[in-house]
């Protein structure tokens, strides 16, 4: 059992905090290690090169409007991280954005997602899952979003992730044939008290 696996029994030793963009470089090796530990497993099966690409992508992503990053740390280093930013007013067409727009619809995408806080990545080392770290990281990058407007996407093929977001009160908007699933945050104004889309 490695150091991070032992920490699952001591979640109070884990501290979650936002970090400044200027402090990100000091955490990149640990972020890379957590990314690899999470995404090398089923169903992603990503290799070491994918973790390296992710860390390089962060160097570009940190220039996005509203870039926000939080880390969960214990005495062994980073055991989880979350990254978010503000979705541009003109909805992007790169990466998975076109799938998101086809799920949500063009008008709702503009109204609900553009200008909202977009959670790009949330990763928790397998050794500390179930300790509340994921929820704390998610809160750290979304709690101050204007009007509670946040969204994210995940894969319907990752039941653990889907159940996590549902238990955290996020609202599933839809899933396409590829499994791309879009969620809105618990307090997103698109939902009223009955949790039904307006």
d(CA 48, CA 192): 43
Q: Is the model's pTM score more than 0.75?
A: yes
Query: What's the pLDDT tens digit per position in 158-193?
Result: 999 999 999 999 999 999 999 999 999 999 999 854
| β pairing state of 117-124 and 77-86 | antiparallel
pLDDT the model gives residue 170: 97
Residue 113's pLDDT band (cuts 50, 70, 90):
very high
DSSP 8-state code for residue 171: E
Quick check: 70 and 18 in contact, CB under 8 A?
yes
Mean pLDDT of 112-116: 97
pLDDT of residue 11: 53
Residue 9 has pLDDT above 80, yes or no: no
The predicted pLDDT at position 134 comes to 97
Please tell me the distance from the alpha carbon of residue 107 to that of residue 83, in angstroms, as a whole number.
26
Rg of the chain in Å (alpha carbons): 16
DSSP 42-108: TTT---HHHHHHHHHHHHHHTTSTT-EEEEEEETTEEEEEEEEEEPPSS---STTHHHHHHHH-HHH
Given the structure tokens 């499994």, which residue do they identify? 179
Give the residue, 43 or 91, on which the prediction is more confident. 91
Residues 6+ apart with CB under 8 A from 144: none
Q: 84 forms bridges with which residues in the sheet?
A: 68, 119
The tens digit of pLDDT for each residue in 119-164 reads 999 999 999 999 999 999 999 999 999 999 999 999 999 999 999 9
The mean predicted confidence, pLDDT, of the chain is: 91
32-68 pLDDT, tens digit per residue, is 999 999 999 888 899 999 999 999 999 999 999 999 9
Residue 118 contacts residue 107 (beta carbons within 8 Å): no
Q: Residue 147: how many CB atoms within 10 A of its CB?
A: 11
145: which residues sit within 8 A by CB, 6+ positions away? 116, 117, 185
Q: How many CA atoms lie within 13 A of 148 on its CB side?
A: 12
């Amino acid at each position: 059992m490695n150091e991070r696996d032992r920490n699952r029994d001591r979640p109070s030793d884990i501290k979650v905090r936002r970090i400044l963009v200027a402090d990100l470089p000091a955490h990149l090796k640990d972020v890379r290690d957590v990314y690899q530990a999470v995404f090398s497993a089923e169903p992603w099966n990503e290799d070491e090169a994918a973790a390296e690409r992710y860390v390089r992508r962060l160097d570009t992503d940190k220039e996005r409007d509203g870039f926000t990053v939080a880390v969960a740390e214990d005495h062994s280093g980073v055991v989880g991280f979350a990254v978010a930013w503000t979705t541009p007013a003109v909805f992007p067409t790169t990466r998975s954005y076109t799938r998101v727009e086809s799920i949500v619809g063009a008008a709702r995408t503009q109204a609900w997602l553009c200008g909202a806080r977009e959670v790009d990545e949330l990763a928790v080392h397998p050794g500390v899952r179930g300790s509340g770290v994921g929820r704390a990281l998610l809160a750290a990058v979304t709690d101050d979003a204007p009007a509670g407007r946040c969204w994210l996407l995940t894969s319907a093929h990752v039941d653990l992730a889907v159940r996590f977001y549902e238990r955290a009160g996020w609202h599933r908007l839809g899933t396409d044939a590829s499994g791309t699933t879009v969620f809105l945050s618990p307090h997103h104004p698109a939902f009223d008290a009955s949790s039904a889309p307006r």
